């Protein structure tokens, strides 16, 4: 084929940002705007969010099936047994610069966990699953330990009588025990389930590219965390919360959003790169946020959000994504705003690890090509003849 023919073929195949390109196979997650909706290993996200716990979902992603009661009890016991952080990681938390970004702390913390892992030199499927369980247990401790130290809060340990979401809420907010805390923990549990996996998004794909080189699991997860730190991928729920806090009251909401649209400023929490017609997860978390608002007798954030939602659909035809109403729920819980993305990692670590394991179980090095846009062939000119 001629050079021109090759170029035309490349142009036809090229999709900026790999949009719409099928880049691999996965049995973990189906993202679809049709009847299938979002499914984890075949299970509808609505069923999992409403009827399962996050621990069941984590088990499903890592082990390939929903657990029996005995398997779930054993899994929860494994998580509890892995809570203590290795000495080098504890020491690192103690010397973190006060102004360090939480995602930088988490990225370095995971890297240190990899060096301190008892199976650091083992890369089998079974070893990787055990490493994933350790990361699931220990990442909340890294996040909470660094946050509490930086804010002068006393260190606390997870409680064996609390589930994963309830412990995460306790570690970050000190909330426990009362009816409001239990309701918050349940909504947090639902949000963790909704965030656990979403196919070949940027951070997951980064993890799979790294994993395809047969690097270790912790290195691949570190790549994912670094990717998630980018504002075009992570941090949307933080930005939504900042927007709600800026608006302050429902009386200002409509004027604020119309002014933002008139000035062509981006209103956060709307649209999705893949889900153009709406995100099934958004409706689930919206119902949870509304119910929690009523339990907390504080509907201001939810009221503001519904006004913004209505106007954005009317004026722009855009639907809220998962991050939009999640911000309402997290504001009610009192989770520190700069920890929203690290909390996402507490959930997505399950999907990331499952993808790394799946990639290495059926590995082929991921090595795409680039569409060349540089100059045509050039003749080399000796240095003393250049002008």
Which of the four pLDDT bands, split at 50, 70 and 90, describes residue 224? Answer: very high
Query: Which whole number is the average pLDDT over 115-138?
Result: 97
pLDDT of residue 10: 54
pLDDT classification of 132: cutoffs 50, 70, 90 = very high
- State pLDDT tens for residues 239-281: 999 999 999 999 999 999 999 999 999 999 997 666 657 788 9
pLDDT 10s digits, 32-54: 765 557 999 999 999 999 999 99
For residue 271, the model assigns a pLDDT of: 72
- CA distances 292 to 141, 186, 258, 300, 330, Å, are 26, 10, 28, 12, 10
Pick the residue with more confidence: 3 or 157?
157
| Whether residue 362 lies in the annotated active site | no
Span 319-342, mean pLDDT? 96
Q: What is the mean pLDDT of residues 309-313?
A: 95
Q: Output the pTM of the full model.
A: 0.93
Task: Give the tokens for residue 36.
Answer: 């299938």
CA 283, CA 37: separation in Å to the nearest integer?
12
**HSE-up (13 A, CA, CB side) for residue 237:** 25
The one catalytic residue in 189, 216, 218, 272 is: 272
pLDDT of amino acid 280: 86
Least confident of 16-30, 63-77, 79-93: 16-30
At the top level of CATH, which class does the domain 236-333 belong to?
Answer: mainly alpha
In whole angstroms, how far apart are CA 300 and each of 17, 42, 292, 369?
A: 38, 37, 12, 50
The string of pLDDT tens digits covering residues 366-381 is 999 888 899 999 999 9
Q: What is the radius of gyration, based on Cα positions, of the chain?
A: 23
pLDDT, residue 116, reads 97
| Set 216, 279, 323, 355: catalytic member | 323
pLDDT at position 19: 79
The mean-pLDDT minimum among 34-43, 189-198, 202-211 falls in 34-43
CB 38 within 8 A of CB 32: yes
Rounded to an integer, the average pLDDT of 287-314 is 97
pLDDT at 217: 98
* CATH of the structural domain 29-176+197-230+345-361, one choice from 1.10.580.10, 3.90.25.10, 1.20.120.1760, 3.40.50.1820: 1.10.580.10
Which candidate, 215, 238, 234, places its Cα nearest to that of 225? 234
Domain ranges of the chain: 29-176+197-230+345-361, 236-333
Q: Phi and psi of 196, rounded to 5°?
A: -65, -30
Closest CA to 171 of 131, 142, 207: 142
Q: Is residue 152 packed enough to be buried (19+ CB in 10 Å), middle (13-18) or exposed (0-12)?
A: exposed
Tokens representing 118 are 């008892």
- pLDDT-derived band at 135 (thresholds 50, 70, 90) equals very high
Please determine, for residue 284, whether its predicted confidence score (pLDDT) is greater than 70.
Answer: yes
CA proximity to 351, closest of 28, 123, 25:
28
Q: Look at residue 9 and tell me whether its pLDDT is greater than 70.
A: no
**Predicted pLDDT of residue 33:** 66
Mean pLDDT of 104-128: 97
Q: Is the dihedral of CA 67, 69, 74, 75 positive or negative?
A: positive
Q: In this prediction, what percent of the chain has a pLDDT beyond 70?
A: 95
Please confirm, yes or no, whether 272 is among the known catalytic residues.
Answer: yes
pLDDT at residue 341, as a whole number: 97
Q: Give me the mean pLDDT over the 188-210 stretch.
A: 97
Question: Of 309, 294, 288, 39, whose CA–CA distance to 185 is shortest?
Answer: 288
Of the chain, the percentage scoring pLDDT greater than 90 comes to 86
Question: Helix 87-94 and helix 125-150: axis angle, to 10°?
Answer: 30
d(CA 132, CA 220): 12
What is d(CA 194, CA 187) in angstroms, rounded to the nearest whole number? 11
From the list 199, 207, 211, the residue with the least C-alpha distance to 225 is 207
Query: Would you state the pLDDT for residue 34?
Result: 58
pLDDT surpasses 60 at 2: no
Residue 332: which residues within 8 A CB-CB, separation 6 or more?
184, 289, 292, 293, 296, 298, 301
Q: How confident is residue 22, by pLDDT bands cut at 50, 70 and 90?
A: confident
278, 315 in Cβ contact below 8 A?
Answer: no
pLDDT band at 218 (very low <50, low <70, confident <90, very high): very high
Q: List strands edge to edge, sheet with 29-31.
A: 29-31, 38-40, 43-44
pLDDT (average), residues 89-94: 96
The band of 321, judged by pLDDT with boundaries at 50, 70 and 90, is: very high
As a whole number of angstroms, the distance between CA 319 and CA 139 comes to 32
Measure the CA–CA gap between 110 and 353, rounded to whole angstroms.
Answer: 13
Per the structure block, which two tokens stand in for 204?
Answer: 């997951």
3-state helix vs strand vs coil in the chain, percent to 5: 60, 5, 35
To the nearest whole number, what is the mean pLDDT of the chain?
A: 93
Question: DSSP character for 13?
Answer: H
């Amino acid at each position: 084929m001629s050079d021109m023919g090759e170029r035309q073929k490349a142009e036809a195949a090229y999709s900026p940002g790999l949009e719409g390109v099928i880049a691999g196979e996965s049995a973990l997650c189906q993202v679809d705007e049709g009847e299938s909706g979002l499914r984890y290993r075949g299970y509808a996200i609505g069923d999992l969010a409403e009827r399962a716990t996050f621990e069941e979902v984590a088990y499903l992603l890592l082990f390939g099936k929903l657990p029996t009661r005995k398997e779930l009890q054993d899994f929860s016991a494994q998580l509890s047994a892995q809570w203590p952080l290795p000495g080098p990681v504890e020491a690192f938390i103690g010397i973190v610069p006060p102004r360090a970004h939480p995602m930088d702390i988490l990225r370095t913390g995971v890297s240190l966990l990899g060096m301190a892992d008892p199976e650091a030199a083992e890369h089998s499927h079974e070893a990787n699953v055990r490493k994933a369980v350790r990361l699931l247990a220990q990442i909340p401790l890294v996040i909470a330990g660094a946050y509490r130290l930086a804010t002068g809060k006393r260190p606390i340990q997870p409680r064996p009588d609390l589930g994963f979401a309830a412990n995460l809420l306790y570690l970050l907010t000190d909330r426990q025990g009362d009816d409001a805390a239990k309701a918050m923990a349940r909504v947090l549990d639902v949000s963790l389930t909704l965030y656990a996996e979403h196919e070949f998004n940027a951070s997951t794909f980064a993890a799979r590219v790294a994993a395809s080189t047969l690097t270790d699991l912790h290195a691949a997860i570190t790549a994912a965390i670094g990717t998630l730190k980018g504002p075009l991928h992570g941090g949307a729920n933080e930005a939504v919360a900042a927007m709600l806090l800026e608006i302050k009251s429902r009386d200002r909401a409509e004027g604020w959003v119309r002014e933002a649209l008139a000035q062509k400023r981006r209103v956060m929490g709307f649209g999705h790169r893949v889900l153009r017609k709406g995100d099934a997860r958004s409706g689930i978390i919206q119902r949870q946020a509304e119910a929690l608002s009523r339990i907390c007798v504080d509907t201001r954030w939810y009221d503001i959000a519904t006004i913004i939602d209505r106007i954005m659909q009317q004026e722009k035809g855009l639907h809220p994504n998962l991050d939009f109403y999640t911000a309402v729920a997290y504001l009610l819980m009192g989770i520190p705003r700069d920890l929203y993305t690290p909390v996402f990692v507490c959930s997505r670590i399950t999907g990331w690890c499952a993808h790394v394991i799946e990639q290495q179980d059926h590995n082929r090095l991921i090595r795409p090509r680039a569409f060349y846009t540089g100059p045509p062939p050039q003749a080399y000119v000796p240095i003393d003849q250049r002008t």
